[in-house]
Structure formats: structure tokens, C-alpha cells
Amino acid sequence: MPIVVCIVVWLVMPERSTKAVTGGRCGTRKDGASFAEPVSVKPRRQQALYWRRTGRAASLMQKNDHNGTNASPDLLAADEPAPFTLLNAASHRPILLVCDHASARFPRFLGDFGLDAETRRSHRAVDLGAAELARKLASTLGAAAVFAGYSRLVVDCNRNFHDAQAFKEYSDGVDIPGNRGLSEAQKLLRAEKIYRPYHEAVAARIARLTAAGKAPLVLAIHSFTPVYEGMTRPWEAGILWDEDDRIAAPMMDGLRRAGLVVGDNQPYSGKTRRLNYTLDQHAAAVGLPHACIEVRQDLIEHEQGVDRIATIIAGSVDALPPSVYSVSQGAVMARSRAHAIDEDTKKQKRAVKQE
Ligand SMILES: [Zn+2]
């Protein structure tokens, strides 16, 4: 079965028992091309009533209405950016940087998402400074980097697609109208046009580096807001990790030696698998060395700050011993755990729907 079909089946299958999607077709056409067609979505009238009842913008209602009833509209216009950007494609260094929350861009098709301009540019939509930091790091390290091209509010590439958090309806005190009442077809459209191409780009790059003979180091670059839901965060940087601390431990030491206040699994825990999806899937599950680096946003809001933090992180990476560029012996265990967690997520989702 072609890989694209497998992925679409993965996206569609768990939803077959829900009311929102009653079925789907996928397979291979006579000309050999793969296809996937979610069949049933929430009735158009139901969608329209929802938006009218909640008083959302007419433009959003119209676009989401169209969006929810057509499996393949042009979510991204021809003149809009690609769902991901690959930087330093010619690099052979066995390091890949990934930046899931790099962009504050929304597809034009989705209108203003029911949000004001300030919210669309805020930490709710994008990891402020993370793209600049990842770019600088890629340049300093001579490593490749993959950047997601659209806001985490459109679809969060660092969440399991089946997790409700992939389409946040609320973020740090603000309702997100553009994600309210999404049909499964609307979610699948965003997955097809944005989420899947991004993850395929990450997977392809890792496959290329692995084929070159070394287990690549995968580093996720994120940033966090200094105050979240009223809580002030004291850390200047945080390293998120789970079972494999080959990178996390020396990196925390390195950042501390450079004078930073470093959170060990702060401000989030890498042991909460659902919050570290990209690394869990692409690195931890196959035993590749990895770490998630979180930097407080006020440290990287200017070029000078970006340069300083990039120099510190790059120094920690360069100091890693060659032995870390290898597959962890715990890979099988991690892979089975990742599978178990995914199954738990699906079960939780089914349980919530049954309540
Ligand atoms: Zn992030």
C-alpha cells in the first residue's frame, strides 16, 4: 500500500465510529494515483446554525462551511507559502533542527480565524523568536532545519492529530473561534495540506541523514511566554526529555555553565508525551538522540539575544561526545511505549465522546 494511503488511513480510521464522520474511501485509481475522500461531515445547516448561534463572523462561517463540505478545496492558494520550509538542505551534518511553532501565518482561506490581529501575532499563535533562533542555530551549526509554515492554531504539528489540543479552542485566556465546532473533514483538510507535509519533511530529512551512516541528533526549538495564565516563569531556558537523557543532561549542564537559569522538564514536562509529539514520533520512538529546547521569549525578542542564546546552545551541541550520535538501546521500549500512549489518547478521546 503506498505510504500516502497508509497515512490517510491512519488519519481516517479512528474516526469511523463517530457521528461527525460516517465513512471514507481511499485507495488507488486506475492511473496509479492515490486518493482519499472523507465522505460524511456535519450537515451544512448544523454548521451554519452553530456559527450564527455563537455570533461568529459571517466570513468565517461561510469559509468554514465551504471548508467542511469539500475534501479538497485549496486551503493554501498557489501564492501562499508552503506548509514547511527546509533550510540548509545541502548540509551533511547529522543534526536536524525542527521548529513546529515557527509561524504566525494563517491560510487566507480561513479568514481572520475570529481573532484580532494582536492575538494572531501573539504567543498563542506562534513561539515568538523560535524561528529566528532556529535559523541562527542552523547557520551556526551548519545543520538542516525544518520549519512549520503555518500557525499552531491552524493545526498544532507538535500534537497527535487525534488530540483535541491539535485544534485548540481556547488558549491563555482567549477563545479561538476558528477552531470551534470543526468537522472531521475540516480537520482532515488541515492535516492533508499542512500537518502531513510537515511531518513527511521531518521524516524524509531524518531518513536521509540516517542513510548517510550516523544516527542524527534531532533538536526541537521552542519558546515560552514569561507569564502564562497568571504564572510567572523563572526559567530562562528549559530542556524537555523523557527516557533518553543522552542529550538533555549534558545540554542542561552546558546551558547552566553559560549562566542560564535552566528548567529540567520545565515549563512543561517531556514525560507528558502528548506535549512533545514531534520528537516522540520522529526521534524517541526510533532511539535517535534528541532534546526539546525551550527558551523564554523575552531573551530572544531581539537579534542580539538570539545571537547570544544561539551561541550558548551551539556550544553545548558542539561539546557533545561523538558517542551520542547512535541509536539508543532503549529504542524498542520507547517505541512500544509511544504506541501505548497513542492508544491511550485514542481511548480517552473515545471515552470523552461517549460521555
Ligand atoms: Zn512551541
Per-residue model confidence as pLDDT tens digits over 109-148: 999 999 999 999 999 999 999 999 999 999 999 999 999 9
Residue 236 C-alpha to ligand 1 middle, in angstroms?
15
Q: Is the dihedral of CA 320, 322, 323, 327 positive or negative?
A: positive
The pLDDT value given to residue 307: 98
pLDDT, residue 64, reads 40
Helix or strand holding residue 139 (H, E): helix 130-141
Report CA(195)–ligand 1 centroid distance (Å).
Answer: 15
| Residue 110: per-residue pLDDT | 95
Residue that the C-alpha cell 477552531 belongs to: 179
The set of cell numbers assigned to 307 is: 545571537
Give yes or no for a contact between 208 and 178, defined as CB atoms under 8 angstroms apart: no
Q: Could you tell me the distance, in angstroms and rounded to a whole number, from the CA of residue 224 to the centre of ligand 1? A: 7
Task: Give domain limits for the chain.
Answer: 79-354
Separation of 223 CA from ligand 1 center, angstroms? Answer: 6
Q: Which amino acid is at 163?
A: D
CB neighbour list of residue 230: distance below 8 Å, 6 or more residues apart: none
Centre of ligand 1 from the C-alpha of residue 156, in Å: 9
Mapped onto helix, strand or coil, the DSSP state of residue 228 is strand
State the pLDDT at residue 336.
60
The DSSP output letter for 191 is I
pTM: 0.75
Q: What is the pLDDT of residue 347?
A: 61
pLDDT along the chain (355 residues), means of 10: 43 30 32 32 32 31 36 81 97 97 97 96 96 98 98 97 94 95 95 97 96 93 91 94 92 97 90 84 93 97 98 97 86 56 58 47
- Residue keyed to cell 524498542: 332
- Rounded distance from Cα 6 to ligand 1 centre (Å): 28
Q: Is 235 helix (H, G, I), strand (E, B) or coil?
A: coil
Question: How far from the centroid of its chain's Cα atoms is residue 287's Cα?
Answer: 20
How many whole angstroms from 101 Cα to the centroid of ligand 1?
Answer: 5
Identify the CATH class of 79-354: alpha beta
